[in-house]
Amino acid sequence: MTSNTLLGLLFCLMSTQTLQDDGRDTRSKQNSTTQLKPKTYQAKIFKANHTNRLPALPLQSENSTMQLDAGPRDPAGAYTSGVLSTRVIPLFYTLAMVVGIPANVYILVFLKVRARNLSTAVLYLSLASSDLILLLSLALRVHYHFHGNDWIFGENACRVITAVFYGNIHCSAATIMCISVKRYLAIVTPFLYRRLPRTGLAVGACLAVWLMFAAAVVPELLVRQSYHLPRLGVTTCHDVLPLEEDSHAMLVPYRLTLVFLGFIAPFIICVCTHMAVVFHLGRSRCNWVPFIRVSTLVFLIFVLCFCPSSVLHIAHYIRLVSTGDDTLYGYYRMTVCLCCFHSCLDPFLCMLMSKTTASKLQFISLRTPTRPAAII
């Protein structure tokens, strides 16, 4: 391939990063590779010699001196120093925290449940717990992004925050799937539903979800996540990883499996159960239109918040494996903000559903008790 052809191809690929480029020239040369690559930006281990030696900068993570060769004109450098990662993403995280943390704390503290509705309470309390942990983990990431994507909290903290972040995103989606299945059983098969040990099944489902995703994020704890970029003067957390390390090759099948377990499977189940519920209620002689509308709204919000990140996640892998192009990663990180935004909406969606269904779950205000609100 001639140099003119290569430069033309790189210009077309890099032009898609307008939100992340921040006005920088992206027509510089970069190497590509055909090996399996992790989800994050690709980079090479920096090896200094007499021709490319750079000033040594302290590495801000424990037990490591590794540095990556990524500059301001690389896709990774454009994202790291661009307005998308340093302003837009942390602003979304901050908004989600301001709204979502008080709302989820309210659900956890002021939710009073009668014994026969304990199964419903268990599912919603599990969802609120998962959402709250996710939103609390955003505090360090907000600091990281606002300070130019410079991670100062060490390698161990980076691994834990990364595992907590992705684990609770998928845990929330799986818990919503459990709520959808419970609603399906209560509406479509009410006689079977009454014979089931509902509380035991709800507790078992929540424990299974938490244990499954606790185990699923273990690889994030075992793989190095923070690396220093000497040409940018920052230490990134999870965003830029080297391709030379064999340990990172496992991230491709691992994260594809996590996407399947954490979104694709819950999404398919939610679609099937929602369609079955709507079809069953549509044949009823009672007026279930308000419930159908609210249930459909909740389902659409779930799809809009979780689907874009999963689609871009898979598309990013396909482009990495097929062409070595990692420019979709910045857009993927932007869509992950929608998942966090859903975590702050869950308490409001829970209360919205309570006005259109018929169980005995009630919310207690700080001053006076309200009438029992219904949630299925």
Low-confidence ranges of the chain (pLDDT < 50): 1-3, 5-39, 41-65, 67-73, 114-116, 358-375
Q: Phi and psi at residue 234, in whole multiples of 5°?
A: -135, 160
CB-CB neighbours of 307 under 10 Å: 15
Domain boundaries, the chain: 58-363
Predicted model pTM:
0.75
CB-CB neighbours of 265 under 10 Å: 14
The CA-atom distances, in angstroms, between 277 and each of 176, 228, 319, 353 are 15, 52, 38, 14
pLDDT given at position 74: 58
pLDDT given at position 75: 60
pLDDT given at position 355: 67
pLDDT given at position 360: 39
CB-based burial of residue 123 (10 Å sphere; 0-12 exposed, 13-18 middle, 19+ buried)?
buried
Q: Return the CATH superfamily for domain 58-363.
A: Rhodopsin 7-helix transmembrane proteins (1.20.1070.10)
pLDDT given at position 15: 44
Helix residue ranges per DSSP H, the chain:
3-14, 18-21, 75-81, 83, 89-109, 118-146, 155-188, 190-195, 198-216, 218-222, 251-259, 265-282, 289-323, 329-354
| Residues in contact with 126: Cβ distance below 8 Å, sequence separation at least 6, in sequence order | 175, 206, 209, 210
